[in-house]
């Protein structure tokens, strides 16, 4: 039987989402093929959740009932630090333990919204909102921000789940919004508002071939797709999205291109705003959240005879 370490928890505010994702993974892995263990990663405390037994970090093993358990694979269900930002992957690479997400470099790159945009800008074919990067402790340069217009969004640069994200409608609200973003990160991205519909599109490899999933439209009840819309049922997600065949093809082709251009692995979700007939790239999520099939309001992937559902995170 294959031993699977389901990595969950984490150090960021996204921890609560990670713990839910980890439970869903364990519930839906085929039990006749996999023996799975929920491993909570929080700072230096790494332990198996059910027993509280610590992980031996020398070889990432677990000793239960006198049995020393070595893991054949690490399943990535940990959003944010220290996995989605690439910190742990080098450790697993050195131990020779495979994992189900992008490698350390790609994870660190895609977790950084600004650097991802700079990486993609070289291709000249990926439409994106205009943006400005701000660093805590440095003056806020309004001359760079003003051309973005109003409204605009202020976001932590390396954080997910909409923590610290503010839609800014007036000049007076800008600095408080930047301060809110800096509560979660030392860098903030100020991004121009794109008036359009919001979509997401998942991509993964199946038997070595890239598979692009159906496109999903996000219809929030709130003013934008904030935490309440994502995790408290304040949104509607339509899959497949109500798009023409031409626009569906455009979105899926762009997602395939991004997956290859960023050298992604595992399941990755790309987020867009559709303005007119153009899908504008927002960000890449290399460890999307996972919800139970019964409550899933999003897209589903069938693997090993089971459904896994990926929602925004």
pLDDT at residue 306 above 60? Answer: no
Name every residue whose Cβ is closer than 8 Å to that of residue 113 and which is 6 or more positions away in sequence.
131, 155, 157, 158, 189, 283
Please give the model's pTM, rounded to 2 decimal places: 0.87
CA 60 to chain CA centroid, nearest Å: 25
Please state, for a pLDDT cut of 70, what percent of the chain lies above it: 88
Query: pLDDT, tens digit, for every residue of 277-287?
Result: 999 999 999 99
CATH number (3.40.50.720, 1.10.3720.10, 3.40.50.20, 1.10.10.10) of 2-100 reads: 3.40.50.20
CA nearest neighbour of 259 among 219, 201, 300, 304: 201
Distance (Å, rounded) from C-alpha 62 to C-alpha 40?
12
Sign, Cα dihedral of 218, 222, 223, 226: negative
Q: How confident is the model at residue 311 (pLDDT cuts 50, 70, 90)?
A: very low
* Topology given in CATH for the domain delimited by 131-192: Dna Ligase; domain 1 (3.30.1490)
Q: Are 200 and 269 in contact, with CB atoms under 8 Å apart?
A: yes
pLDDT at residue 164 in the model: 86
Q: What is the mean pLDDT of residues 92-117?
A: 97
CA atoms within 13 A on the CB side of 113: 29
The residues carrying an active-site annotation are 14, 161, 231, 269, 271, 283, 285, 289
Q: In the chain, where are the structural domains located?
A: 2-100, 109-126+195-311, 131-192
- Architecture per CATH, domain 109-126+195-311, reads as 2-Layer Sandwich (3.30)
CA dist list (Å): 84 to 14, 15, 31, 80, 135: 11, 12, 26, 5, 22
Distance (Å, rounded) from C-alpha 299 to C-alpha 1?
29
Q: How confident is the model at residue 294 (pLDDT cuts 50, 70, 90)?
A: very low
Using DSSP bridges, classify how beta strands 73-76 and 2-9 pair: parallel, antiparallel or unpaired.
parallel
């Amino acid at each position: 039987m294959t031993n699977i370490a389901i990595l969950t928890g984490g150090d960021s505010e996204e921890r609560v989402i990670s713990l839910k994702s980890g439970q869903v993974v364990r519930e839906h892995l085929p039990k006749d093929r996999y023996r799975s263990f929920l491993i909570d990663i929080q700072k230096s405390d790494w332990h198996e959740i059910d027993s509280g037994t610590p992980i031996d970090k020398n070889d990432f093993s677990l000793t239960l009932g006198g049995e020393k358990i070595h893991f054949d694979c690490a399943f990535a269900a940990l959003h944010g630090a220290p996995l989605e930002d690439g910190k742990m992957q080098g450790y697993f690479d050195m131990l020779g333990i495979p994992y189900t997400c992008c490698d350390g470099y790609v994870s660190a790159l895609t977790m950084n919204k600004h650097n991802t945009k700079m990486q993609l800008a070289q291709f000249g074919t990926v439409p994106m909102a205009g943006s400005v990067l701000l660093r805590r402790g440095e003056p806020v340069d309004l001359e760079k921000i003003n051309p973005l217009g109003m409204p605009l969004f202020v976001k932590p640069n390396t954080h997910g789940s909409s923590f610290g994200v503010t839609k800014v409608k007036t000049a007076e609200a800008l600095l408080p919004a930047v301060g809110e973003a800096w509560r979660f990160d030392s860098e903030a991205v100020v991004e121009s508002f794109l008036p359009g519909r919001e979509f997401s599109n998942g991509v993964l490899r199946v038997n070595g071939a890239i598979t692009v999933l159906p496109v999903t439209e996000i219809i929030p009840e709130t003013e934008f797709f904030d935490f309440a819309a994502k995790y408290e049922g304040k949104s509607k997600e339509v899959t497949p999205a109500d798009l023409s065949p031409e626009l569906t093809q455009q979105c899926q082709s762009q997602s395939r291109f991004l997956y290859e251009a960023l050298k992604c692995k595992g399941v990755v979700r790309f987020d867009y705003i559709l303005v007119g007939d153009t899908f504008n790239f927002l960000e890449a999520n290399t460890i999307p959240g996972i919800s139970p099939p019964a409550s899933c309001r999003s897209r589903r992937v069938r693997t090993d005879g089971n459904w896994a559902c990926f929602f925004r995170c």
